[in-house]
């Protein structure tokens, strides 16, 4: 639900309730299998080494990682296990085909897990070498307050509540829009038995 009466940024797509409960449940099962093979870990900020409040893992050929020594980047292996990331589940590839409007498949699916206190500061997704492809983002579990602004950090941002099953796309002119997660709302969903929120972000990393 949009909480302010302001047009959403150009190119930004908000698809509330895109996944029904049954589809969400199947997806959560698949993400549990991903997490079993590639455990959630605590990423740290470049230079400062400050831990992020969100825990992360990935599936796909490439995974987005960050740590104190080497900063933000994509790599082919899990930073703790050293193993290749598990593959992106078929239904996520199908969702990308349905919604992304981009000829090549995604190469990375970042899995973010938010507990009741986790949040994510305003940032741009700019570690990819292909900005013609959108970023496709799926929300599962508890509702969050998502902020979306413009392509300059100083641009005015607006808030959107993202609930389980909602999908947003940072596409076109909004591909490099600043965005973040201010907070989650504990107890707003029964999808995850221990609560919390999962966000899945599909991205194309390399040019075709």
| Interface positions with ligand SIN (CB under 6 A) | 112, 120, 137, 146, 179, 181, 199, 201
Q: How far is the CB of 128 from ligand SIN (least distance, A)?
A: 12
d(CA 76, CA 12): 29
Q: Which stretch binds Fe ion (CB under 5 A): 13-21, 82-90, 120-128, 145-153?
A: 120-128
Q: Which does 120 bind (CB under 5 to 8 A by kind): Fe ion, ligand SIN, none?
A: ligand SIN
128 part of the interface to Fe ion, by CB under 5 A: no
93's enclosing H/E stretch is helix 90-99
The only residue of 9, 85, 125, 164 in contact with Fe ion, by rule CB under 5 A: 125
Sheet with 197-203: list strands edge to edge: 12-15, 167-170, 135-141, 197-203, 108-114, 55-59
74's enclosing H/E stretch is strand 73-75
Q: What is the DSSP letter of 174?
A: G
| Helix (DSSP H) and strand (DSSP E) numbers for the chain | 2, 12
Residue 197 among known ligand-binding residues: yes
Residue 72 among known ligand-binding residues: yes
Residue 123 among known ligand-binding residues: yes
Q: How far is the CB of 88 from ligand SIN (least distance, A)?
A: 16
Which tokens hold the place of 120? 């994510």
Q: Tell me whether residue 40 is exposed, middle or buried, using C-beta atoms within 10 angstroms of its C-beta: 0 to 12, 13 to 18, 19 or more.
A: middle
Q: Which is nearer to ligand SIN, 24 or 201 (CB)?
A: 201
Q: Which does 55 bind (CB under 5 to 8 A by kind): ligand SIN, Fe ion, none?
A: none
- Tokens 């507990």: give the residue: 115
d(CA 178, CA 201): 15
d(CA 66, CA 143): 25
Q: Which does 199 bind (CB under 5 to 8 A by kind): Fe ion, ligand SIN, none?
A: ligand SIN
Q: Which is nearer to ligand SIN, 82 or 126 (CB)?
A: 126
Q: Which does 175 bind (CB under 5 to 8 A by kind): Fe ion, ligand SIN, none?
A: none
Residues that bind Fe ion (CB under 5 A): 125
Binding residues for substrate: 64, 72-74, 127, 153
Binding residues: 64, 72-74, 112-114, 123, 125, 127, 153, 179, 197-203
């Amino acid at each position: 639900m949009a909480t302010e009466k302001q047009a959403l940024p150009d190119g930004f797509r908000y698809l509330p309730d895109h996944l029904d409960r049954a589809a969400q449940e199947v997806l959560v099962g698949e993400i549990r299998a991903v997490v079993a093979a590639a455990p959630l870990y605590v990423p740290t900020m470049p230079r400062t080494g400050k831990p992020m409040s969100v825990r992360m893992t990935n599936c796909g050929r490439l995974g987005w990682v960050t740590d104190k020594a080497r900063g933000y980047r994509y790599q082919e292996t899990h930073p703790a296990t050293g193993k290749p990331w598990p593959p992106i589940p078929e239904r996520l590839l199908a969702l990308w085909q349905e919604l992304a409007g981009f000829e090549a498949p995604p190469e990375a699916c970042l899995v973010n897990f938010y507990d009741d206190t986790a949040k994510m500061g305003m940032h741009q997704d700019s570690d990819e070498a292909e900005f013609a492809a959108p970023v496709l983002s799926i929300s599962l579990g508890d509702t969050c307050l998502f902020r979306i602004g413009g392509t300059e950090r100083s641009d005015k941002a607006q808030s959107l509540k993202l609930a389980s099953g909602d999908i947003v796309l940072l596409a076109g002119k909004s591909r490099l829009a600043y965005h973040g997660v201010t907070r989650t709302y504990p107890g707003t969903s029964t999808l995850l038995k221990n609560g919390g929120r999962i966000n899945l972000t599909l991205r194309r990393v390399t040019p075709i």
